[in-house]
Structures are given as structure tokens and as C-alpha cells.
Structure 1
């Protein structure tokens, strides 16, 4: 056996060691801020609510080894969304339609990044407010301006199941609006522009502008006043790097 071959075998064996035998590490980001968007999907009124975000770049625990320390490759993390409550007493045109409590959705997000492009997908389940399931797909073209500033721009698609669509877009018989039934599927398409600046390895700020258009059964719902909507958000991001 040649020396080169021996070294190759040793390197392969080292790379195959379980994460538990290597340095354990967890690097993740948490973002918190504010956002403005429609009072409810399809509304022409706007409200302000919380903006949440999280991602994991390094995970070497429990036999898993995911390392996105350079920002490239596979990434994952939780996915959150908050939807404000919708009360018929606040919007007379919704008389006869059941109120919807403020909704918090929780799920997961996976992504893959190349130097100038990232693609991602997310799935969430309603924890409060609704029992539906929603999913998002997106991609971004990325430009790094240096000095910690990065700009992203790309399309967004959102999907929902029947339970979600029934909660937010269906109209029962006897309501002020015509009766309507909405099925699941693709329900929004849009674009998002994001700017992020990292002040240090621990702190960053991110701002985003978005446009979405309701499509399919959502767009045809009598609940909808405006198929097009805009959004703006600002978040402060904190990075945590734990190694032991």
C-alpha cells in the first residue's frame, strides 16, 4: 500500500466519523422586528405586526453534520408566520363569516445556496387561528457588495391546503357576501427585494420589500378587495455560535 493511499484512507475515515466524535457545534440566527402588510389576505387595509426569522448554519449534534460556515451549500431552520386576527365586527362586509383568531404558523425551512443564487422551500402548520398547512417556494439572485452588505431579489410562490383556504377565503351561505367555496393549491405569487447588512459576526439588520398577488381560488373569493398587496419589514438579527 503506498503512502498516498494510506493517507487517503485515513482522511476518508476521519470524514466518516460521527458528529459525536468531532467537535459539537451549533450556529444559528434569530431575527425579530416589525412588518406591515394587509389586515387580512385580500384586504385593502394595512396593519403592523411582528416579523420573525431563524436559520441554522452549523449543526454537529446527534450524529448529524451540517456545516454552512461559508454561507454556501445546504441550510435549514424553523419557519414562522404571524397572521392578524380577522373579526367581522371590524369589517362590515364580512358580516356572517366566522371570525378568525390571530394565527401563528410553525414549521421548517430548507435551502441550498451557490455563490450568487439560493433556492429554498418552507412548510408550516397552523398552531393557532387555523388548522391548515401552507408551503412556500422561492429563489433569489444574490449580490454581495462587500463590507457586510448583501442584496437579494427573487420570485415567491405560496401554496395552501383546503383547510387553510376554507378558513380565509370561503364564504358560508347567509353571509353578506355571496357563498363561495375555495380549494387548496397555489394561491399567491410574488417578488421580494431584501437588503442585509452585517455590522459584526454577531449582529445584522435586514429590510425587505415584497409584492404578492392572489391567484386561483383565492383571487376569485368575494372576501378579496384587492388581489395585489405589498409588504415591508425590518428585522434585527443576532447570531449565536456555540461550540463545545
Structure 2
């Protein structure tokens, strides 16, 4: 779910790379309910290492840092790698609110296959989310629109997670997710213009908006002590629709794994 003590949290959020941003942050990051606190502040800070595709659709992988954690106060909102979230509506198991986040874009030097396509600038995003919890299940959707470098477009997701406790010190969250984007985002990340085609050697391609990713992920945490915990993350996804047909995509199937250590207080 979200980011560390204001300026620190925003730095961690901005450091997130595109490979991690394709993960469902709700599945990847802790929530207040995961690790309750006795006071109004609920803080979890951690860092790990992941093995991820160099870009969406890449066949090459690399190791990359994983920021993990959230800072929240009295259930009013939180800040973490997903961005800043403010709870506007809370009623029973339902909540909804506003999100402010950041996407890091893409650099043509990230992978030889991207040479000639040019860079995609990072952008500030604004949007909202809604979620409903029932017993161990949670259904969540979010939508974010780029407000700087607005040509990066709109992205969103709909997912379901189920939390279970196989042992006292263990918690596991698993679930599927659907990701979608508008035509601006799809053209920016998966389209190839005439100029890009001449520079890269890839065929020209126009990508339209719609569903672009189907995935299943899992997040497991192990409580080492009252404050320290280990976390592990895994996700398998498949690019679909116009994203899957793009000449930029080398492999429709994508895998992400990672693990790390966090401190809760």
C-alpha cells in the first residue's frame, strides 16, 4: 500500500522502477491491518532486492531494490511506494479515497532492445481507489492519471486478495489482478512511431487502450520478533491485447520475485 515518513517516503516512492510498478502495490505492501499498532501511528519501513524484467515485455532480467513499507496515522491515510493516499470514505469494510503517486517512466538505455525508441519521462499521477474487505478477502480498484507529462496517460487495476495465516508468525496474501490503460499510455509504452521505427528497426505499431495485463501474485511475511519481519514477493503475469502484440514486447510472460527485511513500530 504506501510510503515512509513524508520526505523519506516520497524519495522511496520516486525510486521505484517500472518493473515494480507493474506489481499490485496492495498485494506487495503492508497495511495497517497486517501489522497493528498500539498508538495512532503505524509505521513499517523495509528494503529488499528483487529480480525483475528490465521493462514491460523484456526477455532480460536484472536485480533491483524493493522499497517496502507504509506510514499511516489513525486510519486517515498513508504514504508509501504507491504514493500518498487519503481515506475519504470509511464504512464497515468499505473504504475509498484519493491517491497521489509517481511513475518513473522508461529509459532507452535500460535494455539494448529499447535503443532508438527514446526515453519516457517520469510523471506525477493523481487518482483514486476503492476497496471492500470481507473476512480474509479484499477487492480493490484504483485509477491514476498522469498530471505531469500527461501523455503518459491513465492506468488502473482491479484485483482480489485473500489473506491467510498458515502459522502464528506467518501471513500470506494471494490473488489475481487485471491491469488496464488508456490509449495515451498504450501508445507511449507499446506503440512505435515512424521516427522510432527508423531509429530502432522495429515495425511501426499503434496500440489502443484496454486490458493489458493479467497476473497472479503472492506476498508472505514472517514475524521474526515483535518489530522485525521478513517479507517475500512473487508475481507471474501475462501481457494481453495490444500490449502483447507490440514489437517492443519480447516475452509476454513476466515473472517478478523478491525478498527483504522490514522494521515495524
Mapped to 2, the partners of 1:125 and 1:104 lie a distance apart of: 8
1:48-90 CA distance string (max 9 Å, x none): 33334537584269997859xxxx9346786867657331684
Structure 1 pair 95–66 and aligned structure 2 pair: CA distance change class (3 A): closer
Q: Take 1:112 and 1:237, find their aligned partners in 2: how far apart are those partners?
A: 26
Secondary structure of residue in 2 paired with 1:146? coil
Does the Cα contact within 8 Å between 2:75 and 2:87 map onto a contact in 1?
A: no
Structure 1, residues 95-139: CA drift from partner, whole Å, max 9, x if none? 442222466767655433233322222333447776322112111
In structure 1, the gaps of 5 or more residues are: 1-23
Select the residue among 129, 133, 136 that pairs with 2:157. 136
CA–CA distance in 1 between the matches of 2:100 and 2:232?
18
Higher fraction of helix: 2
Q: Secondary structure at the match of 2:206?
A: coil
Counterpart for residue 208 of structure 1: 233
Structure 1 stretch displaced more, 143-152 or 108-117: 108-117
1:3 maps to which residue? none
1:162 aligns to what? Answer: 183
Distance 1:89 1:203, change over 3 A: closer
Structure 1 residues 143-177: Cα deviation after superposition (integer angstroms, max 9, x where no partner): 21232211222111111122211111000114111
Please give the alpha-carbon distance, in whole angstroms, between the structure 1 residues aligned to 2:73 and 2:141.
16
What is the aligned-residue RMSD (CA, Å)? 3.7
Preserved CA contact (<8 Å) 2:89 2:95: no
Q: Whose Rg is larger?
A: 1
Q: Which moved more, 1:79-88 or 1:34-43?
A: 79-88
Is the aligned partner of 1:190 residue 2:215?
yes
In the superposition, relative to structure 1, how do residues 63 and 139 fare at CA in structure 2: closer, same or farther (>3 Å)? closer
Q: Secondary structure at the match of 2:185?
A: helix
| 2:258 aligned with 1:233 | yes
1:79–1:109 contact (8 Å) kept in structure 2 = no
**Equivalent residue pairs, number:** 212
Q: Secondary structure at the match of 1:59?
A: coil
Higher-strand-fraction structure: 1
1:220 matched to 2:240? The reply is no
Partner residue, 1:100: 120
